[in-house]
């Protein structure tokens, strides 16, 4: 397995300026965009939220939205009925329990409808700058290919990466792994030629 030092060194070379690709200007927007991003590209979510964020500016705005109308507004992101239910439900809890503010604790974030550890970690690391490991399908794939984990379970992968990567690099490194998986180490057609991780990849030679 690649050492933590080499892992971080190569990630910094491959993805020197990692950033969340969901457009947002506050934690509420990031929360809503992240919920919408499930099974949907960030590019499509950004097109939907461009208008959405102009209309809904607070948790109270979302909580008071008409369900049918909101479903129509987010329909392009897919699974819109479930996403609408979760977003409006999360907004209601934010408004009633947290004064309309997005909390900065894992337990409080995951108490919101539709918010699991992945979404919570996006908020914690991406906005509040807390140590957080985001595990999505790209992070899972790359982590397995590099031998950083042998698990398929997101929570176990999160734990395995936390053991390997220093806490002050959790957010940066997991975002780097995510972007590396999204654009280079793809599921079906990974760009292996010239990949700096090629010698450490457990899946090399399969494509």
Each domain of the chain, given as residue ranges in start order, spans: 4-18+133-200, 27-126
User: CA torsion angle for 96, 102, 103, 108 (degrees, to 10)?
Assistant: 60
* Contact criterion met (CB below 8 Å) for 207 and 193: no
Q: What is the mean pLDDT of residues 129-137?
A: 98
Mark residue 40 as left, alpha or beta (left: phi above 0; alpha: psi -120 to 50; beta: remaining). Answer: beta
Each residue's pLDDT tens digit, 16-31: 999 999 999 999 999 9
136 is catalytic: yes
* Contact criterion met (CB below 8 Å) for 39 and 74: no
Each residue's pLDDT tens digit, 60-119: 999 999 999 999 999 999 999 999 999 999 999 999 999 999 999 999 999 999 999 999
Q: Where does the pLDDT of residue 205 fall: very low under 50, low under 70, confident under 90, or very high at 90 and above?
A: confident
Q: Which residues contact 54 (CB under 8 A, 6 or more apart)?
A: none
How high is the pLDDT of residue 1?
A: 82
Q: What angle do CA 30, 171, 92 make, to 5 degrees?
A: 30
Average pLDDT over all residues of the chain: 97
* Contact criterion met (CB below 8 Å) for 50 and 26: no
Q: Where does the pLDDT of residue 163 fall: very low under 50, low under 70, confident under 90, or very high at 90 and above?
A: very high
How high is the pLDDT of residue 206?
A: 83
Contacts of 7-12 with C-beta under 8 Å, sequence gap 24+, read: 7/146, 7/148, 7/164, 7/165, 7/173, 8/165, 8/169, 8/173, 10/196, 10/197, 11/173, 11/176, 11/177, 11/180, 12/176
How high is the pLDDT of residue 137?
A: 97
Structure tokens at 70: 């909101």
Catalytic residue, candidates 83, 118, 160, 200: 118
How high is the pLDDT of residue 33?
A: 98
168 is catalytic: no
State the DSSP H helix or E strand holding residue 200, giving kind and residue range, or none if neither: none
Please determine, for residue 175, whether its predicted confidence score (pLDDT) is greater than 90: yes
4-18+133-200 has which CATH code? 1.10.1670.10
Catalytic residue, candidates 60, 75, 104, 136: 136
Domain at 27-126, CATH from 3.30.420.40, 3.20.10.10, 3.40.1440.10, 1.10.340.30: 1.10.340.30
């Amino acid at each position: 397995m690649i050492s933590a030092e080499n892992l971080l060194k190569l990630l910094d070379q491959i993805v020197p300026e990692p950033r969340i690709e969901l457009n947002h200007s506050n934690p509420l927007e990031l929360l809503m965009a992240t919920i919408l991003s499930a099974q949907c590209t960030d590019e499509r979510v950004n097109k939907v939220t461009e208008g959405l964020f102009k209309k809904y500016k607070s948790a109270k705005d979302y909580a008071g939205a008409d369900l049918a109308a909101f479903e129509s507004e987010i329909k392009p992101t897919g699974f819109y009925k479930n996403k609408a239910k979760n977003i409006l439900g999360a907004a209601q809890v934010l408004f009633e329990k947290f004064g309309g503010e997005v909390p900065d604790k894992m337990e409080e974030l995951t108490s919101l409808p539709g918010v699991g550890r992945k979404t919570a970690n996006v908020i914690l690391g991406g906005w509040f700058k807390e140590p957080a490991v985001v595990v999505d399908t790209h992070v899972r794939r790359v982590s397995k290919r590099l031998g950083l984990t042998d698990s398929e379970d997101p929570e176990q992968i999160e734990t395995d990466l936390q053991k390997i990567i220093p806490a002050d690099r959790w957010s940066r490194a997991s975002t780097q792994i995510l972007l590396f998986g999204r654009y280079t180490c793809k599921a079906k057609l990974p760009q292996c030629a010239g990949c700096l991780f090629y010698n450490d990849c457990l899946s090399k030679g399969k494509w």
